[in-house]
């Protein structure tokens, strides 16, 4: 399981999460979707890796994330 928050501070609670940049997460989500990678649409939801994901799938996702992060 994983989730990501756009903040410079650690996230240990809902209050911490609420202080993150939710608008930037929205931009990241839509950027990843445009790259063909579907993530949970809210930073308050968990993402999951699966044994069905190949190394190529993971590489594609990491490469897409790098491209999207450069646009934020």
Secondary structure (DSSP) of 45-60: S-B---TTS-HHHHHH
What residues make up the domain containing 27?
14-71
How far is it, in rounded angstroms, from Cα 72 to Cα 68?
7
- How would you write the pLDDT of the chain (72 residues) with one tens digit per residue? 888 999 999 999 999 999 999 999 999 999 999 999 999 999 899 988 889 989 999 999 999 999 999 999
Within a domain: residue 26? yes
pLDDT reported for residue 49: 83
Residue 40 lies in a domain: yes
Q: Which of 5, 1, 10, 32 is nearest to 20 (CA)?
A: 5
Torsion angles phi and psi, residue 66, rounded to 5: -60, -45
Please report, for the domain that includes residue 46, its CATH number.
3.90.1150.10
């Amino acid at each position: 399981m994983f989730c990501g928050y756009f903040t410079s501070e650690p996230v240990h609670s809902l209050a911490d999460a609420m202080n993150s940049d939710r608008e930037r997460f929205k931009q990241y989500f839509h950027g990843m979707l445009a790259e063909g990678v579907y993530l949970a649409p809210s930073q308050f939801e968990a993402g999951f890796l699966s044994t069905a994901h190949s190394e190529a799938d993971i590489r594609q996702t990491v490469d897409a994330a790098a491209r999207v992060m450069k646009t934020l």
